[in-house]
Amino acid sequence: MKIFDGADISTELCGIKLQSPFILSSGPLSYAAEGMIRAHQAGAGAVVTKTIRLQAAINPVNHIGIINKDSLINCEKWADSEAKVWFEREIPMTKAAGAVVIASVGHTQPEVEALVADCEEAGADMIEVVSYREEDLMPMLLAAKARVSIPVICKLSANWRDPVLAAKQCIDAGADAISAIDSIGPTLKIDIERARPAMASSDGYGWLSGGAIRPIALRIVSEVARLGCDNLIGIGGVTAGRDAIEYLMAGANAVGICSIAILQSVEVITRLRRETSVLLGQLGYRSIEAVTGVALANFPVRETIAKLEFSYDPDYAPCQAECPAGVDVPLYMDQVLRGDYIGAYRTVSRTNPFPSICGRACDHPCEPVCRRAELDEPLQIRLIKRTAADRTFELCPDELPLPERLPAHGKKIAVIGSGPAGLSAAYFLARIGYGVTVFEALPIAGGMLAVGIPDYRLPREPLRREINRIAALGVEIRTGIRVGEDLTLSDIREQGYLSIIIAAGAQGNPVLDIPGEKLDGVRSGIKFLQDLNLGNISSLEGRRVTILGGGNVAVDSARSALRLGAESVTIIYRRDREDMPAYSEEVAAAEEEGIKFIFRAGPHSISGDGRVRSIFYQPMEPGDLDSSGRRRPIPADAPPTELQTDMVIIATGQKIEADFLPPIIDKNTGRTEVAGIYAAGDCLSGPSSIIEAIAAGRRAAEAIDLNLGGSGEVMEEEIGRAHV
């Protein structure tokens, strides 16, 4: 079965194809062709000119100030150049670079009458009319529609009495699209060092943009979408892929970018593309069209009231929200601070049965959003979790603390695969009374935790102890049994198991399909790490080893080869260093250890007389953006380069090998089209992180319990509250 890794994020606006939903909004970065072209090259689907008026603006100084890490205040005016400069240079030059250009025109009806036809003649693909006053928007729309044949967009302001009513009137009058919203104001920022307003406008006031206005903009976008608006641009505070997806789910089919690009550079669009594509894929959406407006049907029609169930939790911090498993980071950090290591271990394991494992090998998505970074730098959340686990191991040498287990009720569940997803599902189901059996094809339990991660990153003893803890809950783990060969799903069902969770992992070997791939000395990264962890490789003394790939398997293979005595280790990767999907700290450690990297190089062929003697790599260069938001590597106009080597390890991806897995119909729970069969982990999402696999295992457990008549509550009652 094909596993989908990332969504196609191309979209359409007014029938015009956009390479992404991200539109550079009118502002400082669209000052001229150069800025708009940079945005297009970074992956913007379209660019909006600074607002063109009959006269050029002269901006005060200061006219932009930072409110916080994602919001700005500004008193900037319209375009700094005369209108004719836009018609003769900026718009034609930007169009020549391949960008979709939206000409922003304002702020009065006479200006629209004078300027829009010239914008179209200069090459603009669309017109956006923008006004200060609500009552001016309709006359500007009608004036534009009478003078151009290209689509006309009406931009809304939250400063108006009723922007949604204005949108409806414009749509009824023939507006092709709506953009919402403009900056909000007037607002004030004080420069405390100079004891005066930070803005140099005539009154010291400015206009607010960025993350601070996102909730307001989202509300207006959702209301305009519910009017039936098919072409809608959401603007305000998009700083990450999930922000963009909020707008898309609320009914927008494109999103504006401005403040975060000013704060971080216009190249932030490349990151946003990648994040949006990957996250949409993880959520089960294949395209922008598939996700647009999906939240609209779920808006409540009445207030939901439940006695004694109201919960306001100010301690539900960004770190906890970002953790796929929802680990209560503030609580366990507070417990560690107070020396309650066993309590911290129990807090983590309430939502994640692998505190020690994740304390060592998690990709820690919690840390980049840690609030402490607003003061200096993020807390070392992962390492503090490891400290809690290590001290608990010391304090509990014989038996680790277990959660409360509910009485057994006789219902049996089978789990295929003993990786983090499978064992997590088993843990939560066993806790609430199910009899759980785990079937594992390998001779040891743990899946990729046991055979896919080198022991210098994940020692065997902590893994053994946490797997034994799961077994102590009553989970039976049978190793050396390969489902599909030793027994079938039907065999399992006949043994009385009511549901089956397939968590087989991604352990299939990649195939490059290049000459020489079958030579002795060529092996896959997955197989190399498996053999290493199973004790089948003892030394690479004096060998020259070449690794193909840029992910964690590639870097783990490289660092392991060095520890086995390899004379030299080289990683060949098709893209640039910053594009490597491997954890950045692992890449940095590999560099420090002396591993060589050759970037922008793709495998061409492997040569040798029965055994590997050299590899030829093709120089690459970045091409167009692909669905991951990265530049697609394409062969450069240069001949292949030869590198002498004794061993080639192919680590260019992992494949799912589970032919018995039925088609998945719910990406959240893992439910398949066969009743009672669920998927979890890599075979659900494609190769993912440990913590994502743990979360997927728990979701599958919740869905199964609910389906079998339970409450779907698989975790212990909340242990306590953090006082932070």
For residue range 198-225, list pLDDT tens digits in order. 999 999 999 999 999 999 999 999 999 9
For 600, the token pair is: 């922008």
Q: 99: which 2 tokens?
A: 């960008």
Compute the residue count for the chain.
724
DSSP secondary structure code for residue 383 in this structure = H
Whether pLDDT at 352 is above 50: yes
Sign of CA dihedral 83, 87, 88, 91: positive
**Residue 542 near residue 561, CB atoms below 8 Å:** no
Show the tokens assigned to 181: 């919203």
pLDDT band for position 661 (cuts 50, 70, 90): confident
Q: What is the DSSP letter of 575?
A: S
Q: Give the pLDDT mean for 73-81.
A: 92
Round to whole Å and give the CA distance between 684 and 585. 27
Per residue in 149-192, pLDDT tens? 999 999 999 999 999 999 999 999 999 999 999 999 999 999 99
**Does pLDDT of 510 surpass 90?**
no
Phi/psi for 250 (5° steps) reads -80, 0
Q: Would you place residue 723 in the very low, low, confident or very high pLDDT band (cuts 50, 70, 90)?
A: very low
Neighbours of 518 (CB within 10 A): 7
| Confidence at residue 312, expressed as pLDDT on a 0 to 100 scale | 44
Question: Domain limits of the chain?
Answer: 11-59+76-189+209-298, 522-650
Average pLDDT over residues 255-268: 94
Q: Tell me, what's the pLDDT at 402? A: 94
Tens digit of pLDDT for each residue in 448-461?
A: 899 989 999 999 99
Among 534, 517, 343, 397, smallest CA distance to 454 is for 534
Please answer whether residues 545 and 646 qualify as being in contact, where contact means their C-beta atoms are separated by less than 8 angstroms. Answer: yes
Instruction: Give the CA distances from residue 362 to residues 358, 369, 453, 657, in Å, rounded to whole numbers and listed in that order.
Output: 5, 15, 11, 24
Structural contact between residues 603 and 554, judged by C-beta atoms closer than 8 angstroms: no
pLDDT greater at residue 276 or residue 375: 276
Fold: same for 11-59+76-189+209-298 and 522-650 = no
Written as one letter, the residue type at 510 is P
Query: Per the CATH hierarchy, to which homologous superfamily does domain 11-59+76-189+209-298 belong?
Result: Aldolase class I (3.20.20.70)
Cα angle, residue 691 at apex, residues 486 and 549 outer, rounded to 5°:
75
* Terminal C-alpha separation, the chain: 47
Q: Nearest to residue 711, comparing CAs of 522, 508, 471, 431?
A: 431
Pick the range with the lowest mean pLDDT from 311-320, 329-338, 526-535.
311-320
Kindly report, residue by residue over 567-584, the tens digit of the pLDDT: 999 999 999 998 898 988
Identify the weakest region by mean pLDDT among 295-299, 535-539, 604-608, 654-658.
654-658
Specify the residue for token string 């660019």. 47
Give yes or no for a cis peptide into 107 (omega within 30° of 0).
yes
**pLDDT for residue 311:** 46
Q: Which helix (H) or strand (E) holds 71?
A: strand 71-74
Among the ranges given (321-330, 355-364, 630-639, 680-689), the one the predictor scored with the smallest mean pLDDT: 680-689
* Alpha carbon distance 22, 43 (integer Å): 8
Q: Catalogue the long-range contacts made by 61-64 (C-beta closer than 8 Å, 24 or more residues apart).
A: 61/200, 62/198, 62/199, 62/200, 63/199, 63/200, 63/201, 63/206, 64/28, 64/262
Spatial neighbors of 452 by CB under 8 A, at least 6 apart, are 507, 526, 529, 530, 533, 553, 556
Higher-confidence residue of 721 and 198: namely 198
Q: Among candidates 720, 624, 716, 721, which has minimal Cα distance to 349?
A: 716
Residue 124 DSSP SS3: coil
In the numeric block, which tokens belong to residue 523?
């092996």
Angle, helices 214-225/163-172, rounded to nearest 10 degrees: 40
What pLDDT score was predicted for residue 307? 46
Query: Does the structure show a pLDDT above 70 at 720?
Result: no
pLDDT over 90 (residue 546): yes
Contacts of 61 (CB under 8 A, 6+ apart): 200
Q: Do the Cβ atoms of 83 and 49 come closer than 8 Å?
A: no
Residues 333, 335, 336: CA angle, nearest 5 degrees: 65
C-beta separation of 3 from 683 below 8 A: yes
Burial class for 473, CB neighbours closer than 10 Å (0-12, 13-18, 19+): middle
Q: Do the beta carbons of residue 300 and residue 694 sit within 8 Å?
A: no
CA 490 to chain centre: 37
Q: Give the C-alpha separation, 121 to 144, whole Å.
A: 13
Quote the mean pLDDT of the chain: 91
Q: Count helices and strands (H / E) in the chain.
A: 25, 30
91-147: pLDDT as tens digits:
999 999 999 999 999 899 999 999 999 999 999 999 999 999 999 999 999 999 999
Question: Which band of pLDDT confidence, cut at 50, 70 and 90, is reported for residue 316?
Answer: low
Q: Evaluate whether 529 touches 560 at the Cβ level (below 8 Å).
A: yes
For the CA atoms of 316, 428, 446, 320, the dihedral, rounded to the nearest 10 degrees, stands at 0
- Residue 647, classified by CB atoms within 10 Å of its CB into exposed (0-12), middle (13-18) or buried (19+), is buried
- Strand-pairing partners, residue 184, are 208
Q: Kindly report the number of other CB atoms within 10 A of residue 680's CB atom.
A: 33
- Are 385 and 359 contacting, i.e. CB atoms less than 8 angstroms apart? yes
pLDDT at 320 over 50: yes
The radius of gyration of the chain's CA atoms, rounded to the nearest angstrom, is 29
522-650 CATH, one of 2.40.110.20, 3.50.50.60, 3.40.50.1820, 3.60.130.10 = 3.50.50.60
352 in Cβ contact with 382 (< 8 Å): no
Question: Can you give the pLDDT at residue 309?
Answer: 42
pTM over 0.75: no
Confidence band for 1, pLDDT divided at 50, 70 and 90 = very low
Mean pLDDT of 326-347: 94
In this prediction, residue 301 carries a pLDDT of 75
Question: SS3 sequence, 404-471?
Answer: CCCCCCCCEEEEECCCHHHHHHHHHHHHCCCEEEEEECCCCCCCHHHHCCCCCCCCHHHHHHHHHHHH
